[in-house]
Amino acid sequence: MQTVKMVVTGPFNAGKTEFIRSVSEIDVVSTERKVSTIGEREIKESTTVAMDFGRITVDDDLVLYLFGTPGQKRFDFMWEILSEGMLGFIVMVDSNRPETFREARTILETFRAYAPTPYIVAANKQDKDDAWEVEDIRHALRLDPAIKLLPCIATNRDSVKKTLLELLFSILAEMDAGKLK
Amino acid sequence: MALRGNLRDITFTQILNLVNLAHKTGTLIVESPGETAQVSFREGKLAFALVGNESNDLAAILNKTKRISSAQYRAITQHGSNISDKELGLMLINAGILSKDEILNSLQLYCTDIVHRMFTWVEGLFRFENDILPPEDRINVRLDLENLIIEGSRQLREWEQLQDEIPSLEMALKFMDRPGANMKKINLSVEEWRVVSFINPRNTMQQIAHATKMNDLEVRRIIFGLLQAGLVEIVRPSGLPAGGQMRTFPTEKKEEQVSLVNRLINRIRSL
């Protein structure tokens, strides 16, 4: 059985759990929730970290795992662990919360530094009234024009499928260009 | 009496028991395959400990135990590299940065942590040097060994049980096809997630331990937990070992990689 991994990252409450839940064939293992900082932080990193974990069985020989990173900044040391061996990653942004855009940019830059793998950005919650236009989000994130920024509704399975497909197309494109090893 | 031997034959817990009962003063030196530790005692009580090449001056210990910030640690090492631990301790107390109790607690925690690590060492040469006293240029603690010995006995029992459950680390793991119903509310620790991220039938448990920098006991403990939770099962390793690092693709051939991505695309489309 071969396994491959993709990571879904982004600020807290961007919609990572819903994204994975929309396509995972198993119940998402755990959900992201706020934990108190007082009394839980111990020197030996024994704090429990709630993250998301989903699975899509491709066929008898191949399984895709989706890992959702913890959104809280103090768990950012887990990002590097999760990024090891990933095919690509998706950065989710809450289109209705521009105060999280800077954090999304930081997360994006951090993951880019971990691994030179393809990635796309998903502007989530585009169905809400206060959602920013996708191109305005691109400017706010200072995204390179070559990077895909897609509208997304994480609770909509077709929208999530489309986002995953675009990432896979990006991966194929980089393979054709000889950039991936 | 020459107190020397191998941890294969006499456990670290038994050595501590002997030091405690005999009220020994001196230093126990243990050379395990991975690292070397020195644990000093005064009249049967734990006085000081250090392991490997870790920096063990007071500033480093306070930084490790998060009593001082990294910035404070840097400032101390840059400007105060010539002062002794005792001088530094007095300085921190007089400046109101830390109290005496906080400094001692950090030192005790540091020494206890090293001893706990050593409980997982099941192999290594040891010798007790009566002539090597606890270092005078360091702040010594005074810890009773009884509680440490109890913890060590518990870990030994746990180690034996884990070895019964997982006799060999040369097997691999895979996620259960039908995870148990209790998977919904599982929260995993950081260490467990670290192991989970490497689970792949191509990776043996030994390779996972190496990649996650865990020893045999630590990785067995985590895997046992995952087994009990019904998340994973032990399988024979499939194909070539993946090595200590998880690769992006399970194959190195480009055509197969392209085929794999196309299979993913087709599957996602069919959802």
- pLDDT, chain B, mean: 84
Instruction: Give the model's confidence band at A32: pLDDT under 50 very low, under 70 low, under 90 confident, else very high.
Output: very low
Residue A115's CB is within 10 A of a number of other CB atoms, namely 18
- Among A64-68, B127-131, B164-168, the least confident range: B164-168
Residue with tokens 């961007």: A14
Average pLDDT over residues A159-168: 96
- Considering only alpha carbons, which residue of chain A is nearest residue B255? A175
Examine the domain organization and report whether B99 and B201 are in the same domain.
Answer: no
Average pLDDT over residues B235-243: 60
Examine the domain organization and report whether B17 and B131 are in the same domain.
Answer: yes
Q: What is the pLDDT of residues B198-211, one digit of tens each?
A: 888 888 899 898 88
Q: What is the pLDDT of residue B108?
A: 92
Q: Is B60 within the bounds of a domain?
A: yes
Distance CA A23, CA A151 (A): 17
Q: What is the pLDDT of residue B243?
A: 43
Look up the domain containing B252 and give its range: 172-270
Asked if the C-beta of A42 comes within 8 angstroms of chain B's C-beta atoms, the answer is no
Q: Is B161 within the bounds of a domain?
A: no
Which residues in chain B have Cβ-Cβ distances shorter than 8 Å to A3?
200-201, 250
Examine the domain organization and report whether B98 and B224 are in the same domain.
Answer: no
Q: Nearest Cβ partner of B247 from A85, A161, A169?
A: A85
Q: Is B166 within the bounds of a domain?
A: no
Q: What is the pLDDT of residue A30?
A: 52
Beta-sheet pairing, B4-6 with B125-129: antiparallel
Average pLDDT over residues B12-23: 90
Based on C-alpha coordinates, what's the Rg of chain B? 24
Q: How far is B126 from chain A (nearest CA, A)?
A: 27
Better-scored residue on pLDDT, B107 or A43? B107
Examine the domain organization and report whether B141 and B189 are in the same domain.
Answer: no
Examine the domain organization and report whether B120 and B46 are in the same domain.
Answer: yes
Instruction: Give the model's confidence band at B142: pLDDT under 50 very low, under 70 low, under 90 confident, else very high.
Output: very high
Q: What is the pLDDT of residue B2?
A: 65
Better-scored residue on pLDDT, B181 or A111? A111
Domains and CATH numbers, chain A: 2-176 (3.40.50.300)
Average pLDDT over residues B117-123: 84
- Among B130-139, B188-197, B262-271, the least confident range: B188-197
**Subunit contact A49:B113, Cβ cutoff 8 A:** no
Whether B31 shows a pLDDT value over 90: the answer reads yes
Examine the domain organization and report whether B46 and B123 are in the same domain.
Answer: yes
Whether B119 shows a pLDDT value over 60: the answer reads yes
Q: Is B163 within the bounds of a domain?
A: no
Q: Is B165 within the bounds of a domain?
A: no
Which residues in chain B have Cβ-Cβ distances shorter than 8 Å to A29?
183-184, 186, 188
Examine the domain organization and report whether B220 and B99 are in the same domain.
Answer: no
Q: Nearest Cβ partner of B261 from A45, A86, A172?
A: A172
Q: What is the pLDDT of residue A28?
A: 64
**DSSP, res A153:** -
Q: For residue B232, which phi and psi values (nearest 5 degrees)?
A: -135, 165
Instruction: Give the model's confidence band at B126: pLDDT under 50 very low, under 70 low, under 90 confident, else very high.
Output: very high
Distance CA B221, CA B219 (A): 5
Instruction: Give the model's confidence band at A48: pLDDT under 50 very low, under 70 low, under 90 confident, else very high.
Output: low
**Closest residue by Cα to residue A165 from A6, A3, A2:** A6
Q: Is B25 within the bounds of a domain?
A: yes
**Closest residue by Cα to residue A131 from A165, A162, A103, A154:** A154
Q: How many domains does chain B have?
A: 2
Asked if the C-beta of A50 comes within 8 angstroms of chain B's C-beta atoms, the answer is yes
Instruction: Give the model's confidence band at B239: pLDDT under 50 very low, under 70 low, under 90 confident, else very high.
Output: low
Question: Which pairs with CB-CB distance under 8 Å and at least 24 residues apart come from A98-102?
Answer: A98/A132, A98/A140, A100/A11, A100/A12, A100/A14, A101/A137, A101/A140, A101/A141
Asked if the C-beta of A23 comes within 8 angstroms of chain B's C-beta atoms, the answer is yes
Max Cα-Cα span within chain A: 51
**Subunit contact B189:A46, Cβ cutoff 8 A:** yes
In a 3-state reduction of DSSP, which class is residue B41?
A: strand
Better-scored residue on pLDDT, A72 or B94? B94
Average pLDDT over residues A25-47: 48
- Among A152-156, B127-131, B240-244, the least confident range: B240-244
* pTM (predicted TM-score): 0.56
Q: What is the pLDDT of residue A31?
A: 43
Asked if the C-beta of B210 comes within 8 angstroms of chain A's C-beta atoms, the answer is no
Whether B77 shows a pLDDT value over 90: the answer reads no
Examine the domain organization and report whether B97 and B123 are in the same domain.
Answer: yes
Q: What is the pLDDT of residue A46?
A: 44
- pLDDT, chain A, mean: 83
